[in-house]
Structure 1
Amino acid sequence: MSRAHKVEGWNNCHTLSWELHSHLCHKMDSTSLLPTVLDADLTVLHIECLPKDMLVKFQGKNNSECQFDYHILQREIQYVPKVRSNMAVDDFCLVEERVTGEWQRGRVVGKQNEVYTVLLIDRGEELSVDGTRVASACRKLFELPPRVISGIFANILPLGEKWSPRALNYFRSLVGIQLKGNMQTILPLQMFLLEAPKVISGVLELQLGRFIDKDTFRLIVEILKENPQPMPDLLQHKRPEFSLSTNNGTSLDVHSVLDNFQPSLPVGSLDSVKVSCALSPSKFYCQLLKRIPELEDLTECMNLHYNTVSHETGPTCDNFGLLCVAKGTNGWWQRGVLQELLPDNQVRIWFMDYGSSEAIPSVHVKKLKQDFIFAPLFSFPCSLTCLHSPDQEERKWQLTIFKQALLGHIVYAHIDWFSENEHLYYVTLQSPESAVNSQCLLQGTQICCPAFESNFTNALSKAGTYGTDSFAVDSFIGNVEQSVGGLNVKDKLKASFPIRTVKMEVESMYVAFVVNVLDPSNFWVRINKHQNKFQDIMKTINRFYNASENDDLTLRNPEPGLFCCARYSKDRCFYRAIITEMSDYQINVYLLDYGSTDSIPVFDVKVLLPEFCSWI
Structure 2
Amino acid sequence: MDKEIQDGQGDSEITQQRSLPSCPEGNVNVCSYKWPKISHNGTEEVYASCIAGPHHCWCQYTNSEDLDMVSKLAQEAGQTQQDKIFPETLGPGSPCLAQFSSDQQWYRAQIISRVDDAFHVLFIDYGNESDVDVENVRSLPQGLLEKAPQAFLCSLSGFDESKGSWNDEVYEVFNNLLVDKPLKLTVLNMVDHSEATVPQYAVDIECEGAIVNAAMLKYWKPVAKILTLIDHSERETFLQDIQTESNVKQANVSKVNVNTCMYRKPNFSNNKQEEVYASCIVQPHYFWCQHTKTEELSRVTELAQEAGQTQQDMTFPETLGPGSPCLAQFSSDQQWYRAQVICRVGHAFTVLFIDYGNESEADVKNVRSLTQGLLEEAPQAFLCSLSGFDESKGSWNDDVYDDFYNLLVDKPLKLTVFNMDDPSEAAVPQYAVEVESDGVIVNAAMQKHWKPVAEGCVSIEHPEEETVLRDIQPSSMTPLNVSKVDVNACMYMKPHFSKNTKEVVYASCIVHPHYFWCQYDNPEELSRVSELAQEEGKMQQNEMFPETLGPGSPCLALFSSDDQWYRGQVMRRVDDAFCVLFIDYGNESDVDIKNVRSLTRGLLEKAPQAFLCSLKGFDESKGSWNEDVYDDFNNLLVDKPLKLTVFNMDDQSEAAVPQYEVEIECEGAVINTLMEKYWKGLDTDHALEGSG
Report TM bin, short chain.
0.3 to 0.5
Higher alpha-carbon Rg: 1
TM-score normalised by length of structure 2: 0.32
- The TM-score, its normalising length taken from structure 1, stands at 0.36
Higher RCO (CA < 8 A, seq sep 6+): 2
